[in-house]
Structure 1
Amino acid sequence: MDGHVVDELDRKLLHALEVDGRASFSRIAAVLGVSDQTVARRYRRLCAESGVRVVMVRNAEQLGQDQWFLRLRCAPDSAEAIADALARRRDTVWIGLMSGGTEVACMTLPRSPGDHDELLLGKLPRTPSIMEIRAHQILHRFHGGPDGWFSKFGDLTPDQVAALRPELPPHSGPAHLTPEDEPLVAALKRDGRATYPELQKATGRSESAVKRRLGTLLASKAFYLDVDYPPEIVGFPVAASLSITAEPAALHSVGETLAGHHEIAFAAATAGPSNLVATAVAKDTAGLYAYLSGRLGSLEGVRHVETTPFLRRVKQVTYRPLRG
């Protein structure tokens, strides 16, 4: 299915998984009005042929952990190797080659201040083929993370979304993670749809204990389930990183407006020379130009936009080496 755009039912299935990544095939089938076997077959095909995966992701913002957007200018023959090495790290997401293959964009997802220091103050500065490091701390996320992109397109009706939304236990207080949670989190990072017997085996805890703890972690928003898929399969093969400078008084309103644009897959306020970073996706280059010169270009409060197309996505949520 590589290079092939999915059909309407596949899009609805992906949207359903975005609402609840652990919803049973029978529940999804009932909402979509098809058979259980059809949903199971479609899901397995998407996984096998397009690399679709449901995975648990740490919510850095909710856990109070710093997150950084990095732009690394590299020697021309080293950017791909650096991107691949970063992609293998557990503390990175959303890695791409940009600027004709001489620049790497990377989002960090550190588990601790030590992770952050080791990468930004240790590993990267000692890499001789990295010519320049631009680090932008994420200050506020407007869209992305647990906010699903498919929700912007209305593949499912509001009633269908409501029927799929998981029932989570009530939660109050700050999100937190204990050492005992690590085996559970690790298993769900490998497969967010792992069965409760599989999670029991991975953790050594009873199925009921695993189910309760997973519900608590999701209710606390310390973690969320994400659907990892190549955007080209849903008809958006063109992507670009946008570094936007907005008037300080307009920063929040510009960010909120960007979050509502269907072309924007991610948007956040940052520290650094620009104060917003976003990822725009489009069906083709003409579509990207239309967005930049139209809705974005006319947005009140925007002073400057630097557009850097992605040459290749190396990692979104999970890393899959290129097939030989």
Structure 2
Amino acid sequence: MPNESRTVDEIDRQLVHALQIAPRISWAALGEIIGRSPAATAQRWQRLEAGGLAWLVAYESLGTHSVMAFASVTMDIDQRDQVIDALSAEGRVMAVSEGAIASRLHITVAADNLQTLIGDVLDHVAHIPGIVDVHARFVARLLAEGASWRLDALDPAQQRMALESADHGAPGVWKQPTGPTFDPDARELAHAFIRDPRSKVAWLADELGRHEATVRRQLSSLLQSGAVTVRCEMAYDVSGWPIERSWFLRVPDAGIAALTAVARDYRGLRLVALTIGDANIVITALSRTLEESVAFEAQLLGASAGVTVTESVLHLRTWKRMYRNMGLQGRSVWSSAQQQPAQPTL
């Protein structure tokens, strides 16, 4: 993992931290937080985004999918590049990464129902030339995910300013979805919004041919209910949290609550999920050092009697992250949103 921290300064990290708290905050309010003019703030963000160093992503919240799975993919090492390209190009594959075993990839997939996940997604993955085997662990429930992860760049006063300036209809935090179900109108709006989560309501209304007040109400419903999530991401190596690991754990039922509480107290937490298979809990977390990651693992194992690790993955290289293709240097290089015409932003 190359060290290119020189491409990001502390003001950049403050900007990203503020956008993690309030993804749709205005440039004026954001500039006040980081001590820059609105124009300079927007230009700074555009540089980060263009370089694949930071980006906003909006998506149908993971809990709205009926089925999600983590899968280990064994491949013919001689066809490694072709397999990675094929998985990265597959729209239903959310994430692709490599660990310490050269012939194995780790992917995340999601679909609307079990039949689609197995018959269309996992069967398709299994038939990609070069793939030898697929081992899937199905998610029963998400308990935490990465939208709540934060940098530590803003001081408490700046964080309060971001919270006070936030569009409360678009909190930068994951919620356990409570609805609404995606009727055709809601899904059309969600897809337009996902292309650019900072697009103005007026632009969305014009794009969809709806009244502005209607779009504002519908969008607020999607975001407040947790059906759609918005988050600000950053390339891990310039974020100060370059180490990503996943643990597949077997935990006695009586110990799940205690282990989840320990995980949620860790600042680098990215995901906690209940799963079906040889592991019943999956946890993914970032760390600043390998030593810190080992210490967190010890906390997990000590959270409850009987906790065992069925597999531990150090993600050495990530090729796709939350539907974003990532380059060799861990930079965002492509997303469906980047293929859309420029839209007015806040």
Give the TM-score, by structure 1 length.
Answer: 0.85
CA distance in structure 1 between the partners assigned to 2:323 and 2:294 by the alignment: 29
Is 1:13 the equivalent of 2:15?
A: yes
**In structure 2, what residue type is equivalent to 1:301?**
A
C-alpha contact 1:53 1:191 (8 A) present in aligned 2: no
What secondary structure sits across from 2:197 in the alignment? coil
Unaligned runs of 5+ in 1: none
- The alpha-carbon deviation at position 280 of structure 1 amounts to 2.7
Q: Is the 8 A contact 2:180 2:227 kept in 1?
A: yes
**What secondary structure sits across from 2:101 in the alignment?**
helix
Instruction: Specify the code of the residue in structure 2 equivalent to 1:314.
Output: W
Alignment CA distance shift 1:302-1:16 (3 Å): farther
Query: Which residues of 2 match residues 279-294 of structure 1 at below 5 A?
Result: 279-292=284-297, 294=298
Q: CA deviation at 1:161?
A: 4.6
Alignment of structure 1 residues 123-142 onto 2, 5 Å? 123-127=124-128, 129-142=130-143
CA positional deviation for 1:12: 2.3
8 Å contact from structure 1 (residues 142, 259) kept in 2? no
Report Cα offsets for 1:127-146 as digits up to 9, x if no partner. Answer: 35323222112223232144
The 2-side partners of 1:145 and 1:264 are apart by: 7
Distance 1:260 1:181, change over 3 A: same
Is residue 296 of structure 1 aligned with residue 300 of structure 2?
A: yes
- 1:204 and 1:278 mapped to 2: Cα distance? 42
Tell me the equivalent position of 2:92. 91
Q: Distance in 1 between matches of 2:130 and 2:178?
A: 45
Partner of 1:150: 150
> How far 1:22 sits from its partner (Å)?
1.4
Question: Is 1:272 paired with 2:277?
Answer: yes
Equivalent residue, structure 1, for 2:219: 214
- Aligned partner letter, 1:165: A
Q: How far has the Cα of 1:39 moved from its partner? A: 2.1
Q: Within 2, Cα distance between the matches of 1:245 and 1:201?
A: 51
**Inter-CA distance 71–194: structure 2 relative to 1 (3 Å threshold):** same
TM-superposition CA deviations, 1:51-97 (whole Å, max 9, x none): 42212111131x35222111112222334433332333332323212
The Cα RMSD (Å) is 2.9
**Does the CA-based 8 Å contact 2:57-2:197 persist in structure 1?**
yes
How far, CA to CA, are the matches of 1:300 and 1:256 in structure 2? 11
Preserved CA contact (<8 Å) 1:51 1:229: yes
What is the distance in 2 between the residues matched to 1:32 and 1:310?
Answer: 32
For residue 127 of structure 1, give the secondary structure of its aligned residue in structure 2. coil
Q: Is the 8 A contact 1:19 1:164 kept in 2?
A: no
Q: Secondary structure at the match of 2:314?
A: strand
Distance in 1, Cα, partners of 2:3 & 2:111: 31
Separation in structure 2 between the aligned mates of residue 48 and residue 260 of structure 1, nearest angstrom: 33
Determine the structure 1 residue equivalent to 2:103. Answer: 102
Q: Distance in 2 between the 1:34 and 1:196 partners?
A: 25
Distance 1:199 1:77, change over 3 A: farther
The residue type paired with residue 235 of structure 1 is G
Residue 249 of structure 2 aligns to a residue whose secondary structure is strand
Give the aligned residue type for 1:155. Answer: L
Alpha-carbon shift at residue 206 of structure 1 (Å): 3.6
CA distance in 2, matches of 1:302, 1:36: 54
1-structure distance, mates of 2:122, 2:143: 28
In structure 2, C-alpha distance between the alignment counterparts of 1:65 and 1:145, rounded to whole Å: 19
Q: Distance in 2 between matches of 1:18 and 1:236?
A: 15
2:165 aligned partner, one-letter code = L
How big is the shift at 1:17?
1.4
Partner residue of 2:46 out of 44, 60, 63: 44
Partner deviation per Cα, 1:273-312 (whole Å, 9 max, x = no partner)? 01111223223434433433x4334333353223221121
Where in structure 2 are there 5+ consecutive unaligned residues?
A: 171-176, 334-346
What SS is found at the alignment partner of 1:100? coil
Displacement over 4 Å in runs of 4+: none
**1:231 maps to which of 221, 231, 236:** 236
Pair 1:33–1:121, CA change in 2 (3 A): closer
- The alignment covers a number of residue pairs equal to 318
2:77 paired with 1:76: yes
In structure 2, what is the Cα distance between the partners aligned to 1:164 and 1:51?
A: 24
The Cα of 1:109 is off from its aligned counterpart by: 2.7
In structure 2, the partner of 1:26 is 28
